[in-house]
Chain A
Amino acid sequence: MSILRAGRLLFIKDLRVLGRSRGLLAILIGYPIVIAVLLAIALSGGDTKPSVAFVNLDAQSGRTVQVGDERLSVDDYASRLGEAVNLVRVDAQQATQALDDGKVSAVLTIPEGFVSDLQTGIRSPVITLQTNPRSPIEAQAIERRLEAMVFRLNEALAGAYVGQVLHLVDLIQNGGNVALFGRAGSLMGLRSSEQTIRGMQAALRAAGKPEEAAKAASLLAFITGVGDNLDLAKPAAKAIASPIRLDVKAGAPGREPLSALGIAGALVVGLGLVGVLLSAALLSAEREDGVLSRLGRGLVSPGSIIAQKAVVSAAAALVVGMVLLGVVAVTTSVTVGRWGIWVIALLVAGLAFGAFGLLIGALARETRTALLAGLMISLPLAVVALIPGSDVAYWASAVAGFGPAARVFQQVLVDPEVTTSLWSGIGLLALIAIAYGVIARFVLARRMHT
């Protein structure tokens, strides 16, 4: 009897038994998913937009700027940016602290003189976006969202500026009163100037002063006027290209954002409970049904049973993990991608949790005992694994794979590249799976041959 054939037969049997045990299935898979989703929503704030601290250094001016038909204040501008991200109004110090603590994903700063610069149009005001380098994937997503919003606002402002420039051209041609970019006055216009020069020339000639008429003084004055007006038009034209610029800077390394922590936590709790409880229940059920004595007669080796149950656990972890990530992708601002790495991480974590559950299942005499023990051991370890930035918590929860799994999930969420550190974490999970699998195999062998 080949190991693969026996494993396949028992795998199909387990799926069949699970499919007919709806109550057990609800406890083993439904319950962890519900807990994980609630945890994810709680830790990520339930926002579909990322949280960005908003610092207004131009608040004291209280000024507004009239651009064409648009009257714009900093508050108006902020409320428009708030369509792209969830702006949290704080001062500069609070913003730095919030970014460092991972409570916000970035800091958006409106500089002093923002409205003034916008009004004069002499230079483009620069708003600054400071992102969290510990979460580059999310930072890129926020950057894209804000760039898109700034582009849309620029487009609207540019339209107004273009109208103003056209009005300016009309003034140059026809003259009139001007109140643009902070300057006011009466403009003669090209046509009026021409008429004036002609009139002056005619008058001078009539007065017998043709030499005087020939003088180009007034013409020079006209040229000067045109030049001055063109000087005004030039910065306006620049402003059309980019009325407001977004400057992106990487902030100091802080903690991972709460959103990533929340999703990783949800995955650890969900997969941990599914893996541990499912494998513990499946193995202890073999014993409770009295089937181990039959299987132990050489039909299936203890190692094959352990490997087969671990595969069931890994498959369940993959399904539950993908469901959770799908929910995350649809309902939160967190960017979920790189599905290939996710498949590897979820499978290996499922194997580690499953192997730990198999040890509990091999030790327990009844399914109820195995489930209770699995729950009582797993929940505290999962909670400890979620304590951010603590090496003690990491290694304490690493005994059952929770700490390394949480770290691996966070890395897949926030690191734009697959790093050595990520592979080390996956390798550690694999080692944990092998270690518990070997111990569970020996315990099971003793149970099968008493």
Chain B
Amino acid sequence: MRGDALLTARGIARRYGSFEALAPVDLAISRGERIALIGPNGAGKTTLLSILAGVGVASAGTIEWAGGTALAVGWVPQRPALYPRLTARENLTLFAGLEGTADPRAVADGLIERADLGKVADRPASALSTGTLQRLNLAIALAGQPVLLLLDEPTGTLSPDQRHRLWSWLTELVADGDMALVFSTQSIDEASRSADRIVTLVAGQLRMDGTLDDLIRAAGTDPSGPAAGETAFMALVGDDQ
């Protein structure tokens, strides 16, 4: 589902000395869009996401927001970024406060309900299970009411049922078409199931930006074979996998 343009990144690149972590990348994101960044380890997925989130600094390139004003971005790092000694409620209230919301407690209560954290809201974050912790991690990112949600391998450490639960919630979040979702993953299945667009990065280079069918076509593999997507992805990645 693709709505109005949200932002356009042009020539975004990141160098560490002589090492090019991310070659210049162009990426346009629209409201309601779900984009998967897929690639092997070291492909530059986290680098690109962190630059879009404002956490990382680009060596080159520009990000232009539609309307000229930067809008709220929700950042969900791969490892939960929260205070383990605070409870789930305290974490949410704190970050809602830091986001500048008028009533942080009310925002936290709303997020607790949406993230189904009611039973564990007053437990220290350090006592939560991995899946619950990731839901809290995501809820914190929503505290600023973002229009763009960036998730770095959100399901990497989750069990299948936890993964399913998280994706159900994420699907709900973008259902109204107002929020865009960009997530990184190493699973072509997850990308093809949960994204409208797949952006393939290999060794810091953008190899393909399109649908699963576009990816299979670009790889030149058999579209009707078993695990066609995975086969195409493997072919595209080649020796860099």
| Chain A residues at the B interface, C-beta cutoff of 8 Å | 1, 5-6, 9, 13, 16-17, 20-21, 289-291, 293-300, 448-450
Q: Is the CB of B81 within 8 A of A293?
A: yes
Contacts of A294 in B (CB 8 A): 75, 77, 81, 95, 140
Contact B73 A291 (CB under 8 A): no
Which residues of chain A have C-beta atoms less than 8 A from B83's C-beta? 13, 17, 289, 291
Cβ distance A21 to chain B, nearest Cβ, rounded Å: 6
Q: A17-B83, A17-B85, A298-B54 are in contact. Are A290 and B77 (CB under 8 A)?
A: yes
B97:A9 contact, CB within 8 angstroms: yes
Contact A9 B98 (CB under 8 A): yes
Q: Looking at the assembled complex, report how far the CB atom of A404 sits from the nearest CB atom of chain B, in whole angstroms.
A: 35
For A20, the chain B residues whose CB sits under 8 A away are: 85, 124
Q: How far is the CB of A387 from chain B (nearest CB, A)?
A: 40
Nearest 8 interchain pairs by C-beta: A290-B81, A1-B100, A299-B98, A293-B55, A20-B85, A297-B54, A17-B85, A449-B57
Q: How far is the CB of B175 from chain A (nearest CB, A)?
A: 25
Assess A293 versus B86: contact at CB under 8 Å? Given A1-B98, A299-B99, A450-B56. no
**Chain A contacts of B75 at CB under 8 A?**
293-294, 297
Q: Are B85 and A1 in contact (CB under 8 A)?
A: no
Distance A119 CA – B228 CA, assembled complex (angstroms)? 120
**Which residues between 55 and 89 of chain B lie within 8 Å of chain A, taking CB atoms?**
55-57, 73, 75, 77, 79-86
Query: In the bound complex, what is the Cα–Cα distance between A296 and B56 (angstroms)?
Result: 9
A229–B99 alpha-carbon span in the complex (Å): 98
Q: How many of chain B's residues touch chain A, expressed as a range? A: 20 to 34
CB <8 Å contact, A290 and B80: yes
Contact among B56, B80, B86, B98 for A16, CB-based, below 8 A = B86
B98 and A295 contact, CB distance less than 8 A: yes
Q: What residues on B are CB-neighbors of A300 within 8 Å?
A: 98
- Binary contact readout B170-205 vs A (1 if CB under 8 angstroms, 0 otherwise): 000000000000000000000000000000000000
Q: How far is the CB of B51 from chain A (nearest CB, A)?
A: 10
In the complex, are the beta carbons of A296 and B86 less than 8 A apart? no
Question: Which single member of B77, B90, B95, B98 contacts A293 (CB below 8 Å)?
Answer: B77
Q: What chain B residues lie within 8 Å of A299 (beta carbons)?
A: 95, 98-99
| Inter-subunit contact A21/B85 (CB<8 Å) | yes
Q: Is the CB of B79 within 8 A of A449?
A: no
Bound: A9/B97 CA distance, A: 7
Residue pair B81, A291 in contact (C-beta under 8 Å): yes
29 residue pairs A–B, Cβ–Cβ below 8 Å:
A1-B98, A5-B97, A9-B94, A9-B97, A13-B90, A13-B94, A16-B85, A17-B83, A20-B124, A21-B85, A289-B81, A289-B84, A290-B80, A290-B81, A291-B81, A291-B82, A293-B53, A293-B75, A293-B77, A294-B75, A294-B77, A294-B81, A296-B55, A297-B73, A299-B98, A299-B99, A448-B55, A449-B55, A450-B50
Beyond A9-B98, A290-B79, A293-B77, list 14 extra A-B contacts (CB 8 Å).
A1-B98, A5-B97, A9-B97, A13-B83, A16-B85, A16-B90, A17-B83, A290-B80, A290-B82, A294-B95, A297-B53, A299-B99, A450-B50, A450-B56
> Whose C-beta in chain B lies nearest to the C-beta of A12?
B94
Instruction: Give the complex CA separation of A294 and B143 in angstroms.
Output: 12
Hey, which chain A residues are within 8 Å of B86, CB to CB?
13, 16-17
Tell me the dominant secondary structure on chain B's binding face. Answer: loop
Bound together, the chains give a CA A291 to CA B83 distance in angstroms of 7
Contacts of A13 in B (CB 8 A): 83, 86, 90, 94
- Give Cα distance in the complex from A186 to B86, angstroms: 97
Chain B residues with CB below 8 A from A295, complex form: 98
CB neighbours (8 Å) of B55 from chain A are 293, 296-297, 448-450
For the complex, give the distance between the alpha carbons of A296 and B75 in Å.
Answer: 11
Collect the chain A residues with CB atoms within 8 Å of residue B90's CB. Answer: 13, 16
- Whether the pair A1, B99 counts as a contact (CB closer than 8 A) is yes
Is the CB–CB distance between B56 and A449 below 8 Å? yes
B73: min CB distance to chain A, Å = 7
Q: How far is the CB of A132 from chain B (nearest CB, A)?
A: 50
Closest partner residue, chain B, to A21 (CB atom) = B85
- Listed residue (A6, A17, A20, A293) with the most chain B CB atoms within 10 angstroms of its CB: A293
Q: How far is the CA of A220 from the CA of B131 in the complex (A)?
A: 122
Q: Which residue of A lies closest to B98 (CB)?
A: A299
Give every chain A residue within 8 A of B56 (Cβ-Cβ): 449-450
Closest to A8 in B: B97
**CA–CA, A295 and B53, complex, Å:** 11
Alpha-carbon separation in the docked complex, A119 to B201 (Å): 107
Q: Determine the distance from Cα of A13 to Cα of B140 in the docked complex, in whole angstroms.
A: 16
Nearest B residue to A298 by beta-carbon distance? B54
A2 — nearest CB in chain B belongs to which residue? B100
Query: Nearest-CB distance from B183 to chain A (Å)?
Result: 16
Docked pose: A9 CA to B92 CA in angstroms: 12
Assembled-state Cα–Cα distance A295/B54 (Å): 10
Q: How far is the CA of A114 from the CA of B23 in the complex (A)?
A: 97
Residues on B with C-beta less than 8 A from A290 are 77, 79-82
Alpha-carbon gap, A291 to B140, bound state (A): 11
CA distance in complex: A300, B144 (Å): 14
Q: State in angstroms the CA–CA spacing of A449 and B57 once bound together.
A: 6
- Determine the chain B residues whose CB is within 8 A of the CB of A1 once the complex forms: 98-100
